[in-house]
Amino acid sequence: MPMNTLKDLLVTQLNELYAAERRAAKLMPELSRTASDQQLAAILRRDGESAKERERRLDDVFRELGVRPHPARAETEGMKGLARDCVDLAKATKTDSGVRDAAIIAGVQHIAHDRIAGYGCARSWVALLGFPHSVARLQLALTEERKLDADLSALAAGINKAAAVAAGA
């Protein structure tokens, strides 16, 4: 799809977010099963469920814009790579469980930061283009992503410290 207008760019960004949420809805429960820390597992399960809700909200945004989502064409190699890296690190059976949890947190934060950037841009663009309902939907998603990042950062403080002690670092 050519990107000649801000709306074209917005639709491209929304499709990328849609693809990312679909992937997260599957990835986060998988990662939660490999996490040894129960609080981390709960955060990941919650984000998997939230991803489904964000996907529904994106459907609303697409409707307001009068376009259909095309996530299959939008998923970037970078997002696929981030997800693949998370799974690979989580499945490293020879890794200490604390180190594995630290790796999961780092990988999920990479994904969350990508979504934070995407939702922030999309929210700004729908505001400029005059779609107030979509502004609220995208702001809610942005707030959720920031909370995920903050929750993971808070949890990482203890997990990272425990992983360093276990490794004798």
* pLDDT tens series, the chain, 169 aa: 567 899 999 999 999 999 999 999 999 999 999 999 999 999 999 999 999 999 999 999 999 999 999 866 655 666 667 667 777 777 775 668 888 899 899 999 999 999 999 999 999 999 999 999 999 999 999 999 999 999 999 999 999 998 888 766 5
In one letter, which amino acid is 9? L
Contact 78, 22 (CB under 8 A): no
Give the global pTM.
0.89
Give the model's pLDDT for residue 71.
Answer: 67
Q: At which residue do the structure tokens 């599957």 appear?
A: 26
CA 32 to the chain's CA centroid: 14
83 by Cβ neighbours in 10 Å (0-12 / 13-18 / 19+) ranks as: buried
Contact 90, 35 (CB under 8 A): yes
d(CA 29, CA 19) in angstroms, rounded, equals 17
Burial 8-38 (b: 16+ CB within 10 A, else e): eebbbbbbbbbbbbbbbbebbbebbebbebe
Task: Identify the DSSP state of 94.
Answer: T
In one letter, which amino acid is 167? A
Give the model's pLDDT for residue 76.
Answer: 61
**Alpha helices, H only, 69-96:** 71-74, 77-90
Give the model's pLDDT for residue 128.
Answer: 97
Report residue 136 as tokens. Answer: 């609220």
